[in-house]
Structure 1
Amino acid sequence: MATVTEGHARSQGKGAAGANKALASALKESGCSYASLALRVNDLGHRQGIDSNYDKTSVTRWLQGQQPRGETPGLIATVLSERLGRAVSPADLGFQRDQQRPVEGRALVYDEDVAEALHTLAELGSTDISRRSLLGPAPFVAGALANPQREWLLWLLENQNSDRPMRVSDGGPVEQVHAMIALFDQMDNHYGGAGVRTSIVHYLATEVVPMLQRRSTPPPEQRLLYAAAARLAAMAGWSSYDAAEYGLAQRYMTQALRLCAESRDRVLGGQILAGLSHLATNLGRPDEGVSLARAGIATAKGAGSPLGLMRLHAMSARGHAAQGNAARASEALRQAERQLDASRGADQESPWVRFLDDHYLQAEAALCFRDLGLAAQAERTASDSVKANADRRRRQAISRSVLATAHLQQNRLDEAIGTATEALDTLATVHSERSVQALRDFRRRLDSRRHEPLVHEFVRRSQAVLGAVA
């Protein structure tokens, strides 16, 4: 473990500018005490292998202008981002810009300089694969979702007349990257993202990012390459989610959105925002999920992709349903259905949304009905989804879990356990945290009936896949 002591910090001396007014202002606004800031910084540092012993005296020194050493400015920024509910960087807090601060912190930020964004993405991938410095799980930081959303919407305002995406030409690096995306997609659909995650990250960091860093690529091809790289970064995010690496999922999707701006592909931008929305809602921040879905709708509107808009309205519905707002969830689902009806078929859509269909909307609607307690509707919709998705194991596993919950909500325990057991069997071949989350949701609903033999046996058997009961 690296060690940060008060002596190390003092060796930096006071900043030339004197008192750190930016840090003082952020602390006051956040309501965070000196002691709680120091304690939280120590806690985050320990997760990353840094043995620090900061206290309220350390915070006083920082306020007096002392520049914390090493990775500490990034940790302070993470803590205050959480407290403020928005992303702040070390520079925002009056600390000197330090390119050596942890990549986990830099990857949460939508960097205006695309060269820096590429450097961050390559470093994130390299660190992720080697795990030399990412010793603990990177945390999901809900407060950091505001920065990429705001920066993207500002870009959108400034580029309202963005060009339509160009066709991928035959041959060349762009076609090769698209072929790899198709291969990763196929593996992901059959086995879940966790099983293919390392391959996606390695290919992105060691092959695709270096392509973008070359200056000899013609601008039209460069745009297409940025779009493909953004899609791969989003895939790295989804596969990280499937591996229960929630913080990494957030970071890859944030960087995907930044690369997407270089491609000027609004359909893809909307889909990346849909991914961030899904992540936020499923990790307990449906308010952020709705906000990100709205940003995606504003992005994709007028971009010629009804299927893309269908997914975004479905994500909005998911967020509203998780908050118990039945009226808004129902309206969002109606909007999603309208967009589905407006589509002229997958062949007329962007390649980024051709996987979307009525079965996708069924599966998402079933989750909405589950969260709203509409058991009969959830049962009907989830049952249709199970039948329609025999070749998509992850989606089928999720829909089976929703169907089991619908049975349970109607007090049909035998059917609920039978269906949940089928979902559990599916998870033996699908490495997907999204599927696991859906079945854990069902298992939590069994708490009041654990004394019944059928429930006791299911809980015992499920522990190998779902983990111990909390």
Structure 2
Amino acid sequence: MTDGRAGGAAKGPAGANAALAAALKDAGCSYASLALRVNELGRRQGIDSNYDKASVTRWLQGQQPRGTTPGLIAAVLSERCGRPVSPTELGFHSDQRRPVAGRALVYGEDVAETLHTLAELGSTDISRRSLLGTVPFVASALTSPQRDWLLWLSEQRDGLRPTPVASAGPVEQVHAMISMFDRMDNHYGGGGVRSSIVHYLSTEVVPMLQRRGTPPSQQRQLYAAAARLAAMAGWSSYDAGEYGLAQRYMTQGLRLCAEGRDRVLGGQILAGLSHLATSLGRPDEGVALARAGVATAKGSGSPLGLMRLYAMSARGHAAQGHSGETSEALRLAERQLDASRGAAQESVWVRYLDHHYLQTEAALCFRDLGLAAQAERTASESLGANADRRRRQAISRSVLATAHLQQDRLDEAVGTATEALDTLSTVHSERSIQALRDFRRRLEPRRHEPLVQDFERRSRGVLGAAA
């Protein structure tokens, strides 16, 4: 594999790709199995391909695969070899020739390429000129970023503590914008602020990082702020139902976080990816990402950051019906909450986290485990404390409605769900909508009852027609 690592295709007779041949041998991978796996991964990204062993023969003879295929081949051989393998190492063209939707799934070594990818992703996202249809969420692409991040983290010898935010200049300006976006997100939901975050990140902040001459300490703070903005772009994309874009922005944000050397923020980005994975039906990946986040944030001096990560672990376990593991994760989250000395002593990235945040997440866990009385009590407490956070209000009301339904209190359930529906008229949040859709699905066995039929009619404008 030496020639492949040198950066280009190792050419033998008739332009053969010796680097790819060596990788296949190293992986013990047949031509047919490589082609089959490339097709499988492609379908998960919305790519319909029909490669076979003849296709692999052509690649070995020097043909360059089109589009995202080099990355898919590299992903397959990375799985088989048990180590990262890049398209360049396999003798294929640079990743820069791949569509940005494919490149943005990769935690890249070169931060200059990461900045280029973010700028291009933001530009194409805003204009939609080349993102054809929905950008898919790719569960199989979650493993490499967390592995690469943890490998990088294991090589660091300092504490990776965030430096104090500069009191003037561009860093302060970026933090002011982050605060404004946070307030808008909390009040109106991610769908209402998403495009503004993406535009500011890709057209203002990325160019700041690409300029030369910025003092190193300021550059590090700018990278951390850019990582936070990328994570916000991901979170707001998630809240707008753009799950594939959410995954890509969070992945690139994690890479920028390494340049900012901020362990607390890295843990929070992994928490966001964990939340995304669990909500999209991969709670096993959600737990793995939360564990990676815990490993990241331990020793960072942020109990609130760890509290959120244990809460995400609990959510993943609850979605799998693992009551014991859920209880233990919630217990650890409570312990971290008790250990916190208050928001003022925490990183700026986690000061919004509090007891009521944990209540909201715990209520969702209890709902998924069918613990109706606990879900009702916890969701009610959350409702009483989050009047200014409309998204939390909508989610907690949906959970409370489900708890009522699980206890066969249909009138209360529908009444509470109707209040959640009214809250959603002012919040553009796909996560809140999904929570209420979950309640509506649970009404299905009682769809013949007039009360349920009336709710179904009233909810169609916000939730769409029932499946």
Q: Using structure 2 for the length normalisation, give the TM-score.
A: 0.90
Q: Are 2:64 and 2:93, in contact at CA under 8 Å, matched by a contact in 1?
A: no
Aligned amino acid, residue 271 of structure 1: Q
Q: Deviations over 1:245-268 (max 9, x none)?
A: 101100100111111111111111
Name the % identity.
Answer: 72
Q: CA–CA distance in 1 between the matches of 2:383 and 2:194? A: 25
For the residue of structure 1 that corresponds to 2:397, the secondary structure is: helix
CA contact (8 A) 2:228 2:253 kept: yes
Amino acid at match of 1:327: G
Contact 1:366 1:378 in 2 (8 A): yes
Measured after TM superposition, the shift of residue 54 of structure 1 is 4.9
Aligned equivalent of 1:333: 330
Greater alpha carbon shift after TM alignment, 89-98 vs 356-365: 89-98
1-structure distance, mates of 2:91, 2:189: 43
2:17 is aligned to 17
> Counterparts of 1:281 and 1:27 in 2: how far apart (Å)?
33
State the partner residue of 2:244: 247
Corresponding residue number in structure 2 for 1:355: 352
Partner of residue 113, structure 1:
110
Instruction: Work out whether 1:153 is the aligned partner of 2:179.
Output: no
In the TM superposition, residue 394 of structure 1 has moved relative to its aligned partner by 0.3
Secondary structure, aligned partner of 2:426: coil
Change (3 A) 1:439 1:292: same
SS in 1 for 2:93: coil
| Residue equivalent to 1:264 | 261
Give, in whole Å, the separation in 1 of the partners of 2:436 and 2:297. Answer: 32
Deviation at 1:43, TM superposition (A): 8.9
Structure 2 CA distance for aligned equivalents of residues 43 and 247 of structure 1? 11
1:458 lines up with 2:448 in the alignment: no
Show CA shifts across 1:116-160 (max 9, x none): 111111111111111111012111111111111011111111114
Over 3 Å counting, the alpha-carbon distance change for 1:212 and 1:69 in structure 2 is: same
Q: How does 1:268-287 map to 2 (within 5 A)?
A: 268-287=265-284
Greater Cα offset, 376-385 or 74-83: 74-83
Give me the CA root mean square deviation: 2.8
Matches within 5 A, 1:14-413: 16-17=16-17, 20-21=20-21, 22=23, 28=29, 34=35, 41=42, 54=50, 56=52, 59-74=55-70, 76-77=72-73, 80=76, 90-91=87-88, 95-413=92-410
Matching of residue 424 in structure 1 with residue 438 in structure 2: no
Check the 8 A contact 2:304/2:353 in 1, yes or no: yes
Q: In structure 2, what is the Cα distance between the partners aligned to 1:452 and 1:332?
A: 39
The separation in 1 between residues aligned to 2:165 and 2:288, in whole angstroms, is 32
- Looking at structure 2, the residues matched to 31 and 110 of structure 1 have their Cα atoms a distance apart, in angstroms, of 28
| Number of aligned positions between the proteins | 453
Asked whether the 8 Å contact 1:184–1:200 carries over to 2, the reply is yes
- Determine the C-alpha separation between the residues in 1 that align with 2:26 and 2:65: 21
Residues in 2 aligned to 1:33 and 1:110: alpha-carbon distance in whole angstroms: 23
What one-letter code is carried by the residue in structure 1 that aligns with 2:258?
A: A
Gaps of 5+ in 1: 1-13, 47-51
Separation in 1, partners of 2:31, 2:233: 33
Residues 17, 91 of structure 2: 8 Å contact kept: no
| Offset of residue 162 of structure 1 | 2.8
1:9 corresponds in structure 2 to none
1:362 to 1:120, Cα distance in 2 relative to 1, 3 A: same
Task: Measure the CA separation in 2 of the matches of 1:340 and 1:86.
Answer: 37
Separation in 1, partners of 2:287, 2:45:
28
